[in-house]
Structure 1
Amino acid sequence: MGSEDGVFKWTDANTADLIAWRASNNSLFTGRRNAAIKAFELYVKEKQLAGKVTPAWVRKKWENLKQKYKDLKSLSMVGGNTSVATWKWYAVMDGALSSETSLNHFITPVQVSSSAQDAPPIKQRKEEDWLTAVREMEKRQEERERLASEREDERDRRAAAREEERDRRAAEREDVRERQTSEREERREREMLSRQERWEKDMLAREERLERDYREREERREREAAAREERLFKLLETFMANK
């Protein structure tokens, strides 16, 4: 237990100690008026917390722990609640409050001395047993949290791998689409160039054909004109000869 700037700092060790003490001193909480506050006064005195915390504050701390345990237990019974697995004090409080839980389930039996004088007082042994049980339950809870964290990390890794695979496949599909688009554009461009070349060839062939037809017509007209002139000269010569 430590303090900072004169203000007492309640730690997880204090919480575990409180739960163990409360479970091992259940007989002090008779339900009578002021019984609880007197019991917590004894707790403050035994733990040498006088001047650091008040019995009322310790009582409120315990009631808050108990209320949160009851809330989570109720939620888990009606449909499940992940907070049960993540609240580190749930298993400890369950052991402290459940009449079905035995200390022997959490602690390893020890050899008891045959001498009554060597054995600690019953109340002290009971509190020590509960503290051992609390620490064991804390270890189990930490192990569950560690395993849950590892499972969560594994799920995150798998999700990241799936996301990376989806991104890779999406990138591949995008590359394929871009390549296909580029190929279509190139094909259309080649087709346009081919059509342009064919059109130019057709136009050139048409112009050549028109030019050839024009020359042939001109040559034919010239031949016909020459033939007419020749016939005219012959007629003129015949006329002059007969005169």
Structure 2
Amino acid sequence: MGSEDGVFKWTDANTADLIVWRVSNKSLFTGRRNAAIKAFELYVKEKQLVGKVTPAWVRKKWENLKQKYKDLKSLSMVGGDTSIATWKWYAIMDGALSSETPLSHFITPVQVSSSAQDAPPIKQRKEEDWLTALREMERRQEEREGQASEREDERDRRAAAREEERDRRAAEREVERDRRAAEREEVRERQALEREERREREMFARQERWEKEMLAREERQERDYREREERREREAAAREERLFKLLETFMANK
């Protein structure tokens, strides 16, 4: 929780203010025992957050910001990570913690009056410088986010174009498959028709042969029957003739 009583809500403005204050008061964080917690106690008092957040909670908030920055920084060095473009505090934390870019690159110097008594305190000037740097970092972060959005849009456009090309080629392949399938179906139908016609011709030829064979068999049977009848008639006539001869011989001898 960012509050002890559950009412106070920690905002982005508080986060930005914490980053500015932490870097502006770097000298308070000596690394000695309890130095950090005492420094954050000072922060809570200066920002009138007593009773709203604890120094320990503020310290944890800062450590979380720093750890996330380091994690994203490490990922970007080994291959890139899109979270950098979307995490709003990356550019600010990079400017605050990175030693590669001098602070003067981000900070527009505050105009100091010629009168020494008009000059703001050193701490106030440092915070004003950091607020200027913060605005510059936010502007650069917005530019990076805009560029990332443009790159994402370009990737989406190219992906859509590739998808459209794939769909077009798929449609062409589908049309070609349909055409070839229609050709194969036409060939199959033609072959089936040819086979049917061939079967009909063969069936008619078999029927014709069968009819011829039946007619020839009937003719043979008819011829055989006539021949048998003629033979029986000749045999009967021969028997009658022999019988008459025997009868004539008998009558002559009597």
TM-score by length of 2: 0.61
The 2-side partners of 1:231 and 1:51 are apart by: 163
CA 1:112–1:223 in structure 2 vs 1: closer, same or farther (change >3 Å)? farther
The 1-side partners of 2:3 and 2:193 are apart by: 72
Query: Cα deviations across residues 95-153 of structure 1 (Å, max 9, x unaligned)?
Result: 11123432221132343212111111001111121122122101211221122112212
Deviates more, 1:3-12 or 1:137-146: 3-12
Deviates more, 1:206-215 or 1:138-147: 206-215
Deviates more, 1:59-68 or 1:211-220: 211-220
Equivalent position of 1:187 in the other structure: 198
Which ranges of structure 1 fall in alignment gaps of 5 or more residues? none
Tell whether the 8 Å contact from 2:24 to 2:130 is kept in structure 1 after alignment.
Answer: yes
Tell whether the 8 Å contact from 1:40 to 1:59 is kept in structure 2 after alignment.
Answer: yes
Equivalent position of 1:86 in the other structure: 86
Tell whether the 8 Å contact from 1:103 to 1:129 is kept in structure 2 after alignment.
Answer: no
Which ranges of structure 2 fall in alignment gaps of 5 or more residues? 166-176
CA 1:178–1:67 in structure 2 vs 1: closer, same or farther (change >3 Å)? farther
The 2-side partners of 1:102 and 1:12 are apart by: 25
The 2-side partners of 1:5 and 1:186 are apart by: 98
Deviates more, 1:207-216 or 1:127-136: 207-216
* Deviation of 1:7 (Å): 2.1
Tell whether the 8 Å contact from 1:95 to 1:101 is kept in structure 2 after alignment.
Answer: yes
Tell whether the 8 Å contact from 2:110 to 2:128 is kept in structure 1 after alignment.
Answer: no
The 2-side partners of 1:229 and 1:217 are apart by: 18
CA 1:70–1:219 in structure 2 vs 1: closer, same or farther (change >3 Å)? farther
CA 1:213–1:143 in structure 2 vs 1: closer, same or farther (change >3 Å)? farther
CA 1:225–1:180 in structure 2 vs 1: closer, same or farther (change >3 Å)? same
CA 1:135–1:229 in structure 2 vs 1: closer, same or farther (change >3 Å)? farther
* Deviation of 1:19 (Å): 0.5
* Deviation of 1:49 (Å): 1.1
Deviates more, 1:203-212 or 1:131-140: 203-212
Q: Percent identity?
A: 92
CA 1:236–1:195 in structure 2 vs 1: closer, same or farther (change >3 Å)? same
Tell whether the 8 Å contact from 2:4 to 2:52 is kept in structure 1 after alignment.
Answer: no
Tell whether the 8 Å contact from 2:2 to 2:57 is kept in structure 1 after alignment.
Answer: no
Tell whether the 8 Å contact from 2:4 to 2:51 is kept in structure 1 after alignment.
Answer: no
Tell whether the 8 Å contact from 1:16 to 1:135 is kept in structure 2 after alignment.
Answer: no
Tell whether the 8 Å contact from 2:112 to 2:119 is kept in structure 1 after alignment.
Answer: yes
TM-score by length of 1: 0.63
* Deviation of 1:53 (Å): 1.0
The 2-side partners of 1:227 and 1:63 are apart by: 146
Higher relative contact order, structure no. (Cα contacts within 8 Å, ≥ 6 residues apart): 1
* Deviation of 1:86 (Å): 2.8
* Deviation of 1:24 (Å): 0.3
CA 1:157–1:113 in structure 2 vs 1: closer, same or farther (change >3 Å)? same
* Deviation of 1:75 (Å): 2.2
Equivalent position of 1:171 in the other structure: 182
Tell whether the 8 Å contact from 2:110 to 2:125 is kept in structure 1 after alignment.
Answer: no
The 2-side partners of 1:84 and 1:171 are apart by: 55
**Superposed CA RMSD:** 7.6
Query: Larger Rg: 1 or 2?
Result: 2
Tell whether the 8 Å contact from 1:41 to 1:55 is kept in structure 2 after alignment.
Answer: yes
Deviates more, 1:8-17 or 1:180-189: 180-189
Name segments (4+ residues, structure 1) moved above 6 Å: 1-5, 166-243
Q: How many residues are paired up?
A: 243
